[in-house]
Amino acid sequence: MSTQATTAAPAAVAHGLNGTGTTEPGAAGEIVDLRARIDAIDAALIDLWKERAAISRQVGATRVASGGTRLVLAREREILDRFRDELGADGTQLALLILRAGRGPL
The CATH code of the domain that includes 85 is: 1.20.59.10
pTM: 0.78
Is-contact 98 49, C-beta < 8 A?
A: yes
Q: Kindly state whether residue 4 falls inside one of the protein's structural domains.
A: no
pLDDT tier, 9 (very low <50, low <70, confident <90, very high otherwise): low
Contacts of 69 (CB under 8 A, 6+ apart): 63
Q: Kindly state whether residue 7 falls inside one of the protein's structural domains.
A: no
Question: 99 exposed, middle or buried (CB, 10 Å; 0-12, 13-18, 19+)?
Answer: buried
Confidence at residue 13, expressed as pLDDT on a 0 to 100 scale: 60
Average pLDDT over residues 26-35: 95
Q: What is the pLDDT of residues 63-90, one digit of tens each?
A: 999 999 999 999 999 999 999 999 999 9
pLDDT tier, 2 (very low <50, low <70, confident <90, very high otherwise): very low
